Amino acid sequence: MAERERVSPQMRTAEILDFLRAVPGVFLTNNERDLSQSDYMCRIMPQTTLKVAPYRDATGYFAFEIFGGATVHMDLIKKQINPFEKLRLVRKAMPNTLIQGLCRGKNLFGYRPYPDNVVETTVRLFSQYIDVWRMYDFLNYIPNLVVAANAVKEAGKLLMPCICFSTGEGHTDDFYTKKVEEVLSLLGENIILCIKNHSALGSPARIASLVSSIRKRFPELLIAYHGHNTDGNDLARLVAAVQEGVKIVEVSDHGFGGSYSQAPALTAIQNLHDYGFQTPGLSVAPLLDASDVLRRERRLYEKFTGPFHGFDPTVKRHKLPGGALRIAMEQAENAGLLGRSHELFSELIQVRKELGNLWVVTPGSQILWATAMSNVLNGRYEKPVDDLKRLLLGRYGPFPFEKPPEWIYQKVLESGRTDGKKWNVILAEEGGLQDLADEDFKARRLMLESALKRPATKEELCMYLQFPRDALDFIKFEERFGKTWLLPPEVWFHKGGFADGTRISFADEAGKTHNIDLISTRKTADTVQTSLLVDYHFQTYKTKRGAQQ
Amino acid sequence: MFKKLLVANRGEIAIRIMRSAQELGIKTVAVYEETDKTSMHIMRADEAVCIGSGPRRDYLNIERIIQAAQMTQAEAIHPGYGFLAENPAFPKQCTEAGLVFVGPPPQVIIDMGSKVIARRVMAEAGIPSIPGTTVLPPGEEGKRLATAFAEKHRFPIMVKAVAGGGGRGIRVAQNMSELERYIEVGRSEAKMAFGNGDVYLEKGLTNPRHIEVQVLADGHGNVIHLGTRNCSIQRRHQKMIEIAPAFLPGDLSDRICETAVRAARACNYLSAGTVEFLLDQDDNYYFLEVNTRIQVEHTVTEVITGIDIVREQLLVAAGSTLSVTQEDVTFRGAAIELRITAEDPKSNFMPNPGMIEIYQSPGGHGTRMDGAVYQGYEIPRFYDSMLCKLTVYGFTWKEAVDRLRRSLDSFLIAGVKTTIPYYKQIVTDPDFINMDFDTSYIETHPKLLDYQEEVPPLGKLASLVAEINACGYNPYS
């Protein structure tokens, strides 16, 4: 019977939507992507994900979010794994669960808009593995989602457009209901709407009110709730959301989360059951197994948990989402400003208000935080970052509420100009959304292939179109070192040399165990000579000292 | 039977001898030079005596070895191969000191050690030898003799040192000027190497096969053979691979073996010895020499006959008769033995001493290891570069080849370059698999050296581990 109680990747989009409408109860999505981003600076390694994959697959989640947001770029620069390969591995390890990805609309997985043909190609290629595309625009400017959304529909995948939620002036139920109307009008009705509460904002009552308003206006609409437990109160919010008709809520593993990521799945299930809601298709035993494994894994990532642990109820004021908050703290620490964090956050709050009470979500969160940092260090709006200029020019889309005051336009747009143009002239001449010309794939392929000195695959080109330098570096890295995702996280993040006799064991994709034994390390003035036994084959490697820097 | 045996050797053969002695309940004494004090044979013996600071000279010091035997109250001495094994002074002085020498008497060693006497003894017994000269007289007379020999038998002609052996002291002349030059050079080299500058000439055969017969003789008139071996795969006259039996056609094997027994009788042989023949392309065989010692390759014969040759040596030395008769000797299957040395085949087989960081030997049915090294052993640069012998047995030649390949694949010696990758090439070479080889095999198969140093599939990944180790952090994370 369990098979009938859960969706499967083999089901068509319409079947999934019909199933969700027909089956009473609530469904859960495990969001490791966001957990990794919010609690561990995006560092959860594929080996950890794959280690618990069988348990998560057996749990019966609606979906497993493992892709998108900052992960694509981080996969390339910090984990050295091809994002396509990661998805292939996850797909193979979790054959019964929908794989979900988060896309920033026109900004894809980056920080600026991409040409339409890059968006379309990227969505099409990743749709090999992604079943559910959760999609948002940080200005809630729904036209920015159209190109990517159409590509999702064309690929036959499930579209989950988001409305980003925040609080304060202008963020009314009426505003959001109109946004939903816009979503349905521009993207069609065969969707699941996602309320993206990226910064753990609002009380349970506020969320209940929002869901209720949307449901009243669109009673047939399937709604998912994406929340964060930054303030420790998301369980109450998600129960309130479900009480008002939300069908899918996002959770994390209790063995792994516990900070700015999603609320723990098990507690959510217990609460939902107590409130009389069923969770069809869910099995608790594998969920427990997954957390038992993850509890042991989390120590490997402790160094990425940032300077402050635990909950942060002040998120209601600064409104930074989990991942951005973690990185903001790290940047503040690196800049020696950790002791002035109160000042920084106060400035952030001020900047947000001045810039139109925007949603503090990528790339907006980065723009706001970088501006706040710069304001504290250099004086208010004295050294504006380029992306702030773009924001003011309307390159990302229009401001949803009030525009920033003129003095900010003046300071920011006139900053660094050598032509003496005034801000209003600049705005008139250069402002607004730009119609980006399609990328010349042929020319870009030639560039990539001449750098690689071999033909490039479609997937390599796709990564190169989004992150030219980092994608190229990654491809060269992989040619040099092979599939390094096979290495256990404790090796990947190892500090110091390895002691003689250290054994590194891991399984390859075929399940075959491999061993690398450290035999000896010999250091000379210029080189370090490491002798290893690689699957019982003796190898000596010479590394020039300082060569890596 | 004597109660204690001193083994006047080192390395794998010392251990090999000790094994048989220990099986007979004989206590063993190892001797060693200071420069060889970590050698494994010391660990395998019941007691050990340091005979000097070395290197190499003390293993050749008869007085010290006899002194060690007397000090430890050993009653017998086994010389192994190399060092003093074919020095007639050694058995002579052993006997004078009241010690049993495990091997033939001095006169046999003297006679067979002289190529010229050996050829004469064999000729008297009606055993064909390769046409050759007596010792070349010096000066013009020698030149005249050489010229006449060359005119009669044509080139190639081998210039051999009378006191040479084991491939040493041999040069092959292809024309008259080479011949004259090699005679001169050969004389001075032989004088330096063996203390005897006498040389003689032998007709060179084109790509002959090297066939030898293992013989055993006791002091009671029993002489038997243990069949043939093919030792054709040689590099610069040094054997690399030995096979038993030699797989000779028709009744050739029986004839050669019978000739070998006759040769042993002709020289009054005692103990274990080997009669070597060269077989030309028309299957004519010629007496080459008698090796008056246990040989490296004796293991292949043991494997196909089931007879412990060293045990027989010890029994004979103790005055017993051989424990087997010719009728008891049967041959079953095929055996191949490889000498695995610490040499770099790609650098002209240059010795490659160093630390054995990893040593994992193969095993399983039909695989015999005669080794003398261990993990952590620092191979001294003063001695023979042989690390171990790998002998495989197969019910058929093909099975033996398959087993050899499997054994080599699972053999891991790390820290020094070895001949294992080179042998891996040979064992997959069609000519070797089809047993199509002669003494020119190594020279005519230069591509065997074109192997890649093995890089494991995860070698790239391991290079990152090395980089993390070198940097103290992962620069790519």
Q: Is residue A8 part of a domain?
A: no
8 A C-beta contact, residue A196 and residue A202: no
Last residue of a domain, one of A430, A445, A475: A430
Q: What is the pLDDT of residues B81-129, one digit of tens each?
A: 999 999 999 999 999 999 999 999 999 999 999 888 998 999 999 999 9
Sign of the torsion angle spanned by Cα atoms A531, A533, A539, A542: negative
- CA distance linking residue B405 with residue B389, whole number of Å: 15
- First vs last C-alpha separation in chain B: 71
- The tokens for B398 are 């093909």
- How distant is the Cα of A501 from the closest Cα of chain B, in angstroms? 12
Taking only residues 65 to 124 of chain A, the set having a beta carbon closer than 8 angstroms to any beta carbon of chain B reads 78-80
Q: What is the CATH number of the domain that holds A530?
A: 3.10.600.10
- How distant is the Cα of B454 from the closest Cα of chain A, in angstroms? 8
Task: Residue A530: list chain B partners with CB under 8 A.
Answer: 465-466, 469-470
Q: B458 and A496 in contact by Cβ < 8 A?
A: no
Are residues A415 and A268 located together in one domain of the fold?
A: no
Total-model pTM? 0.68
- The tokens for A72 are 């694509």
**CA B278 from chain center: how many Å?**
16
- How distant is the Cα of A486 from the closest Cα of chain B, in angstroms? 9
Q: B461 and A486 in contact by Cβ < 8 A?
A: yes
- How distant is the Cα of B164 from the closest Cα of chain A, in angstroms? 39
pLDDT score recorded for residue A1: 39
**Nearest CB neighbour to B456, from listed A487, A504, A537:** A537
Residue A481 three-state SS: helix
**CB contact A512 to B (< 8 Å):** no
pLDDT score recorded for residue B454: 64
Nearest CA in chain B to A536: B412
pLDDT score recorded for residue B83: 94
**Nearest CB neighbour to A483, from listed B412, B454, B461:** B461
Task: Residue A513: list chain B partners with CB under 8 A.
Answer: none
**Nearest CB neighbour to B358, from listed A528, A533, A545:** A533
Q: Is residue A457 part of a domain?
A: no
8 A C-beta contact, residue B301 and residue B227: yes
CB-based contacts of B332, cutoff 8 Å, min separation 6: B304, B305, B306, B395
Q: B463 and A538 in contact by Cβ < 8 A?
A: no
pLDDT score recorded for residue A400: 94
- CA distance linking residue A528 with residue B264, whole number of Å: 60
- Mutate which: A74, A477, A536, A537, vs B, most B CBs within 10 A: A537
Task: Residue A532: list chain B partners with CB under 8 A.
Answer: 462, 465-466
Q: Is residue A435 part of a domain?
A: no
**CB contacts < 8 A (A, B):** 110
Q: Is B293 a catalytic residue?
A: yes
Are residues A235 and A206 located together in one domain of the fold?
A: yes
Task: Residue B459: list chain A partners with CB under 8 A.
Answer: 534, 537, 539
* CATH number of the B209-449 domain: 3.30.470.20
Q: Is A174 exposed, middle or buried (0-12, 13-18, 19+ CB in 10 A)?
A: exposed
- How distant is the Cα of A120 from the closest Cα of chain B, in angstroms? 30
Q: Please, which residues bridge with residue B6 across strands?
A: B29, B77
**CB contact A303 to B (< 8 Å):** no
* CATH number of the B4-102 domain: 3.40.50.20
Last residue of a domain, one of A405, A430, A455: A430
Interface predicted TM-score (ipTM):
0.91
Q: What is the pLDDT of residues B386-431, one digit of tens each?
A: 999 999 999 999 999 999 999 999 998 888 999 999 999 999 999 9
- CA distance linking residue A84 with residue A457, whole number of Å: 12
Sheet strand arrangement including B27-33: B47-52, B27-33, B4-7, B76-78, B100-101
Task: Residue B454: list chain A partners with CB under 8 A.
Answer: 537
In eight-state DSSP terms, residue A495 is -
**Nearest CB neighbour to A530, from listed B454, B461, B470:** B470
Task: Residue B463: list chain A partners with CB under 8 A.
Answer: 480-481, 541
Q: A518 and B474 in contact by Cβ < 8 A?
A: no
8 A C-beta contact, residue B210 and residue B439: yes
Q: Is residue A116 part of a domain?
A: yes
- CA distance linking residue A447 with residue A445, whole number of Å: 5
- The tokens for B374 are 């261990």
Are residues A258 and A404 located together in one domain of the fold?
A: no
8 A C-beta contact, residue B327 and residue B307: no
Residue A28 host element (H or E):
strand A27-31
Nearest CA in chain B to A493: B474
**CA A302 from chain center: how many Å?**
20
Q: Is A314 exposed, middle or buried (0-12, 13-18, 19+ CB in 10 A)?
A: middle
Q: A514 and B414 in contact by Cβ < 8 A?
A: no
Chain B positions contacting chain A at CB under 8 Å are 357-358, 360, 412, 414-415, 454-477
Q: What is the residue whose two structure tokens read 């026109």?
A: A106
Count of CB atoms situated within 10 Å of the CB of A396: 26
Are residues A379 and A413 located together in one domain of the fold?
A: yes
pLDDT score recorded for residue A516: 95
Are residues A71 and A211 located together in one domain of the fold?
A: yes
- Mutate which: B361, B410, B477, vs A, most A CBs within 10 A: B477
Burial A65-96 (b: 16+ CB within 10 A, else e): bbbbbbbbbbbbbbbbbbbbbbbebbbebbeb
Last residue of a domain, one of A402, A430, A458: A430
- The tokens for B162 are 């009378």
Number of domains in chain A: 3
Q: A79 and B477 in contact by Cβ < 8 A?
A: yes
Q: Is residue A382 part of a domain?
A: yes
Q: Is residue A263 part of a domain?
A: yes
Domain that holds residue A387: 315-430
Are residues A319 and A291 located together in one domain of the fold?
A: no
Count of CB atoms situated within 10 Å of the CB of A458: 12
Burial A205-223 (b: 16+ CB within 10 A, else e): ebbbbbbbbbbeebeebbb
Q: What is the pLDDT of residues B46-91, one digit of tens each?
A: 999 999 998 989 999 999 999 999 999 999 999 999 999 999 999 9
Sheet strand arrangement including B168-173: B168-173, B157-165, B199-203
Q: What is the DSSP string of A209-234?
A: HHHHHHHHH-TT-EEEEE---TTS-H
Q: What is the DSSP string of A358-403?
A: ----TTHHHHHHHHHHHHHHH-TTTS--HHHHHHHHTSS---SSPP
Task: Residue B358: list chain A partners with CB under 8 A.
Answer: 519, 533, 536, 538
* CATH number of the B131-203 domain: 3.30.1490.20
Q: What is the CATH number of the domain that holds A30?
A: 3.20.20.70
Q: B357 and A78 in contact by Cβ < 8 A?
A: no
- How distant is the Cα of A322 from the closest Cα of chain B, in angstroms? 21
**Nearest CB neighbour to A78, from listed B414, B467, B477:** B477
Are residues A395 and A536 located together in one domain of the fold?
A: no
The torsion angles phi and psi of A73, rounded to 5 degrees, stand at -65, -40
**CB contact A378 to B (< 8 Å):** no
Task: Residue A80: list chain B partners with CB under 8 A.
Answer: 476-477
Are residues A28 and A141 located together in one domain of the fold?
A: yes
pLDDT score recorded for residue A549: 41
Q: A538 and B475 in contact by Cβ < 8 A?
A: no
8 A C-beta contact, residue B23 and residue B311: yes
**What's B147-199 look like in SS3?**
HHHHHHHCCCEEEEEEEEECCEEEEEECCHHHHHHHHHHHHHHHHHHHCCCCE
- Mutate which: A475, A548, A549, vs B, most B CBs within 10 A: A548
- The tokens for A95 are 């054959």
Q: Where are the domains of chain B?
A: 4-102, 131-203, 209-449
**CA A355 from chain center: how many Å?**
24
What length is written for chain B? 477
Q: B464 and A536 in contact by Cβ < 8 A?
A: no
Task: Residue A78: list chain B partners with CB under 8 A.
Answer: 477
Q: What is the pLDDT along chain B (477 residues), one digit of tens a residue?
A: 899 999 999 999 999 999 999 999 999 999 999 999 999 999 999 999 999 998 989 999 999 999 999 999 999 999 999 999 999 999 999 999 999 999 999 999 999 998 889 989 999 999 999 888 989 998 899 999 999 999 998 899 999 988 876 667 788 999 999 999 999 999 988 888 888 899 999 898 888 888 999 999 999 999 999 999 999 899 888 899 999 999 999 899 999 999 999 999 999 999 999 999 999 888 999 999 999 999 999 999 999 999 999 999 999 999 999 999 999 999 999 999 999 999 999 999 999 998 897 888 999 999 999 999 998 899 999 998 999 999 999 999 999 999 999 999 999 888 899 999 999 999 999 999 999 999 899 999 999 998 877 666 788 999 999 999 999 999 999
Q: What is the DSSP string of A159-195?
A: EEEEEE---STT--HHHHHHHHHHHHHHH-SSSEEEE
Q: What is the DSSP string of A419-478?
A: S---HHHHHHHH-S---PPPP-HHHHHHHHHHHHTSPPPHHHHHHHHHSHHHHHHHHHHH
Sign of the torsion angle spanned by Cα atoms A56, A57, A61, A65: positive
Split chain A (549 residues) into runs of 10 and give each run's mean pLDDT: 74 96 97 95 95 97 97 96 98 98 96 96 98 98 98 98 96 98 98 97 98 97 97 97 98 93 97 97 97 95 85 91 83 85 92 94 94 94 95 96 96 94 96 94 97 96 97 96 95 95 92 91 92 85 73
Task: Residue B412: list chain A partners with CB under 8 A.
Answer: 536-538
Q: A519 and B462 in contact by Cβ < 8 A?
A: no
Nearest CA in chain B to A481: B460
Q: A486 and B468 in contact by Cβ < 8 A?
A: no
Residue A540 three-state SS: strand
Q: Please, which residues bridge with residue B234 across strands?
A: B239
The identity of residue A171, as a single letter, is H
Spot the catalytic one: B171, B293, B368, B403. Answer: B293
Burial A225-244 (b: 16+ CB within 10 A, else e): bbbbbbbbbbbbbbbbbbbb
Task: Quote the crossing angle between the two packed helices A116-126 and A458-466, to the nearest 10°.
Answer: 130
pLDDT score recorded for residue A117: 98
Nearest CA in chain A to B375: A519
- CA distance linking residue B120 with residue B445, whole number of Å: 37
Q: What is the CATH number of the domain that holds A407?
A: 1.10.472.90
Task: Single out the residue of B268, B254, B394, B219 nearest to residue B326, CA to CA.
Answer: B254
Task: Single out the residue of B335, B327, B266 nearest to residue B300, CA to CA.
Answer: B335
- How distant is the Cα of A86 from the closest Cα of chain B, in angstroms? 16
Q: Is residue A527 part of a domain?
A: yes
In eight-state DSSP terms, residue A77 is I
Q: Is residue A204 part of a domain?
A: yes
- Mutate which: A503, A516, A545, vs B, most B CBs within 10 A: A516
Q: B465 and A518 in contact by Cβ < 8 A?
A: yes
Q: A518 and B471 in contact by Cβ < 8 A?
A: no
Task: Residue A549: list chain B partners with CB under 8 A.
Answer: 475
